[in-house]
Structure 1
Amino acid sequence: MSITLSRITVTAYRVPIASPVATSFGVMHNRPAVFVRLEDSDGAFGWGEIFANWPAAGAEHRARLVVEDMADLLLGQTFDSATDLFAQLTDKTHIRALQCGEWGPFRQVIAGLDTAMTDLEARRAGLPVAQFLNAEAAHTVHCYASGIAIAQADSQIAQSRAAGFSAFKVKVGFDLTRDTDLLRTLFTTLGAGETLCADANQAWALPEAERFVATCADLPLGWLEEPLPADAPLTHWSALADQCPVPLAGGENITGTGSFADTIATGVFGVLQPDIAKWGGFSGCWPVSQAIRTSGQRYCPHFLGGGIGLIASAHLLAAAGGDGLLEVDVNPNPLRDAFDPWAGASDRGTLTLATTPGLGITDLPDEIAGFASFSGEVHL
């Protein structure tokens, strides 16, 4: 059934935080998010989220891209499906992105719009998104605690454990000697059945990554994430994989079906982590998730943002099946928690998907309204 879009609403948000969130490449001093709503000529609607963590001014920039650079490609246009929208927008924004060299922002906006269109389609079909993608989709997904600062890992892991998590991921890549010493101590605190992963956020060149791997060779990490830049030569990734006794993980900074196909084919990664808000939305990430699983690699979607993107990632993981884990940033974020993804449950180690159509989101929570930094709406 064709879909003619008649209204687009987008809002950027920023929430002050008491404790900055540090990665090896920079520090987040607030929590941003961009939520977008599409409505068709029949009044059906859908919600999506656009990646907005970086750069610091990224949220407002991407929200303005929707209103000022994309609306002419959407309003009054008829699409056969979200996949059709994704393909058309990718094609029609190519020169615009080339002109300004902003491939990332355009891809991220298209990803959020695709998520909103998929939500709209699933609502029209009367199905949750997971079942819309796959009738045999699971109704629950397992989660792991992410965003844990290595220097505060003792307390953050204890808090995460109390919240029901049994798998944890700490951020490394700050000081190699200190990081490895702290990791070694953390392993002595883990309980039976608990898993610890490490994320370097692209911190190292090959020699530093090799040093880390050699120092931690006896530690049973669940995986080592982005020890090298995403665009490091394949020879460097292969060399590190040959030396690393635990799976390498990556994918949040890979874009394009072809790039994922090439990455999967190398066999370098044991865990692949596409981010639905950074590239692809459902139209791109759903086939990629299937290809990852078919290859025998593990699919664990990356996500670090607000509530809509987290819920969308959960639906995608549930549809894909397998032994994947949903990433849940455990740092305070009202733009995530206001959506109550766990429906009041205290155990966050498992997320049960709503059975309502689409992503189960009708309106944005009232309590986030005061954090809006930009709002825009265009309609026929």
Structure 2
Amino acid sequence: MTSLITSEPASPGADISIVTVEALALRAAIAVPVKTSFGVMTDRPAVFLRVRDQAGAEGFGEVWCNFPSVGAEHRARLALSVIGPALVALGPLAAGQVFDRLMSRLHILAIQSGEWGPIRQVAAGLDMACHDLAARKAGLPLWRHLGGLSGRIRAYASGIGPEHPADVIARERSHGHTAFKLKVGFGEMTDRRSLEAARRTLGDAATLMIDANQGWTAPEAARLGADLARAYGLAWIEEPIAADRPSAEWLEVAGRIGTALAAGENMNAMAEFDAAIGSGCFGVLQPDAAKWGGVSGCLAVAKRALAAGISYCPHYLGGGIGLMASAHLLAAAGGPGLLEIDSNPNPWRDRLAGEALKVEAGLVTLSEAPGLGIDVDWDRLARGG
């Protein structure tokens, strides 16, 4: 799906004045479904965005669209019919204002439609694209354009399911990874079997985390989390309970588990992140730049988290454009965080970012190429390649 939204050129001298927005909804077949505690992905969807300003400069963004299964097409249509035109109508503005200005403009529509999530996600993707455009125009890699001091970041292999964890870990280790995250929440026996296989393959010293994908109740999380953290030396436990559970439950789980809790991919407002930072529950915060906030919001969260002694580790489980943006965000923010790189097959990631995100000894080094540092062949993508 591709289309154009256009406007007459705005007055010269503006920071960014977007005149064209395009969107692609794409799907790639995969041989093995990607399982979580709440659902299964039977293919890999992607929504990519391209924006152009009045001078013809362009930038690229990506929109979270994994669930429900019709999410990609829905979000692409939102981008083309509603949110893209809103960005064009805003006229000249700084890249750092895009997400907030869009959400302000669309606030009543979001209330009326109840489409808070999809609207935030498309606005986040457009914010990402505008930052890419601004950095390309400045001739700087996005991480440096945002004030980063080094393009060298730590990374970890994620999305490791219960089917063949030892084989996946061995493969990802051969690709340069030294830290790994397993998906759990499939029943205690299955989870323990996965972790046993992981530790047996890795040895005791390697960094290992788990993600329950909100799959436990608070009592289950307190009991299982404490036991698994102790038995397998876990660096963090991600979303052990539903993201919207009362703070008292999160505090109870945090107090009993005895290792860092991680969350943030399902937080949807700066007030939520501020509350999380102030709660004392979390050792890791994980906003997703394709899901909320774009580059603007996630960088602000990262800086607040780091100032409070909390690690910023961007969440990501999509295609190559959003993954590159996440890498640049981490480099710009600094700190001890790690970039999440999904271990499951994803052609949209590999074709766009595979060469730019080589992992060596657990580290990725971003280039000095402008913007996101990748060439995006839009016409080829539109043909499905």
Q: Report Cα offsets for 1:153-188 as digits up to 9, x if no partner.
A: 111101111111010101000112331243134323
What whole-Å deviation, never above 9, does each CA across 1:266-287 have from its counterpart, x for those lacking one? 0101111110000000111111
- Looking at structure 1, the residues matched to 358 and 58 of structure 2 have their Cα atoms a distance apart, in angstroms, of 28
Q: Is the 8 A contact 1:146 1:170 kept in 2?
A: yes
Give distance in 2, aligned partners of 1:165 and 1:367. 31
Query: Partner of 2:110 in structure 1?
Result: 97
Helix, strand or coil at the partner of 2:159: strand
- Residue 207 of structure 1 corresponds to 219
Paired position in structure 2 for 1:9: 22
Q: Distance in 1 between matches of 2:163 and 2:193?
A: 11
Q: Aligned partners of 1:112 and 1:177: how far apart in 2?
A: 39
Q: Structure 1 counterpart of 2:144, which letter?
A: Q
Q: Is 1:244–2:261 an aligned residue pair?
A: no
The one-letter code of the counterpart of 1:207 is P
CA deviation after TM superposition for structure 1 residue 359, in Å: 0.9
- 5 Å-filtered alignment, 1:1-380, equals 1-2=13-14, 3-75=16-88, 77-134=90-147, 136-191=148-203, 193-216=205-228, 217-343=230-356, 345=358, 347=360, 349-364=362-377, 368-371=381-384
Moved more, 185-194 or 174-183: 185-194
CA apart distance, 1:366: 6.7
Q: What TM-score do you get using the length of structure 1 for normalisation? A: 0.93
What is the Cα deviation at residue 55 of structure 1? 1.0
Name the amino acid aligned to 1:62.
Answer: R
Conservation of the 8 A alpha-carbon contact between 1:46 and 1:117: yes
Paired residues in the alignment total 371
Mapped partners of 1:43, 1:189: distance in 2: 51
Residue 87 of structure 1: CA displacement? Answer: 2.1
Letter in 1 for 2:98: L
Mapped partners of 1:342, 1:266: distance in 2: 40
Q: 1:366 to 1:141 in 2, by over 3 A?
A: farther
| Separation in structure 2 between the aligned mates of residue 18 and residue 218 of structure 1, nearest angstrom | 33
Q: Taking structure 1 as reference, are residues 137 and 172 closer, same or farther at Cα in structure 2, changes over 3 Å only?
A: same
Find the aligned partners of 1:111 and 1:185 in 2 and give their Cα distance.
38
Alignment check: 8 A CA contact 1:36 1:48 kept: yes
Q: Deviations over 1:310-350 (max 9, x none)?
A: 00000000011111100000111110000134448474832
Offset at residue 5 of structure 1 (A): 1.5
Report the identity percentage: 48
Q: 1:255 to 1:144 in 2, by over 3 A?
A: same
The amino acid of 2:285's aligned partner reads: L
Mapped to 2, the partners of 1:339 and 1:365 lie a distance apart of 11
**CA–CA distance in 2 between the matches of 1:49 and 1:347?**
26
SS of 1:67's partner is: helix
2:42 and 2:304 mapped to 1: Cα distance?
37
- Does the aligned pair in 1 maintain the 2:178–2:361 contact within 8 Å? no
Q: What letter is aligned with 1:24? A: S
Separation in structure 1 between the aligned mates of residue 122 and residue 128 of structure 2, nearest angstrom: 10
The whole-number CA distance in structure 2 between the counterparts of 1:357 and 1:261 is 32
Q: Say if 2:177 and 2:359, in contact at 8 Å, map to a contact too.
A: no
Three-state SS of the structure 2 residue aligned to 1:184 is helix
> What is the CA distance between 1:225 and its match in structure 2?
0.5
Maintained 8 Å contact 2:165/2:197? no
Partner AA of 1:128 in structure 2: P
Quick check: 339-348 or 117-126, which moved more? 339-348
Aligned residue in 2 for 1:377: none
Would you say the 8 A contact 2:357–2:366 is kept in 1? no
Output the TM-score relative to the length of structure 2. 0.92
Equivalent residues of 2:356, 2:374 under 8 A apart: no
Q: Which has the higher contact order (CA 8 A, sep 6+)?
A: 1
Distance 1:91 1:102 in 2: 14
What's the RMSD between the two structures over aligned residues? 1.8
Gaps of 5+ in 1: 373-380
**C-alpha separation between the residues in 2 aligned to 1:337 and 1:212?**
35
Deviation of the 1:369 alpha carbon = 4.3
Change in 2 beyond 3 A, CA 1:328/1:344: closer
| 1:239-269 deviation digits (Å, cap 9, x = unpaired) | 0111112111111101111110111000101
C-alpha separation in 1, matches of 2:258 and 2:60? 41
What is the CA distance between 1:209 and its match in structure 2? Answer: 1.1
Pick which of 71-80 and 10-19 moved more.
71-80
Distance of aligned partners of 1:362 and 1:219 in 2 relative to their CA distance in 1, 3 Å threshold: closer
The 2-side partners of 1:100 and 1:61 are apart by 14
280-289 vs 343-352, greater mean Cα deviation: 343-352
Aligned to 2:4: none
For structure 2, the residue ranges without an aligned partner over 5 or more in a row are 1-12
- CA offsets, 1:3-49, max 9 Å, x none? 22111111011001100000000000000111101101111111111
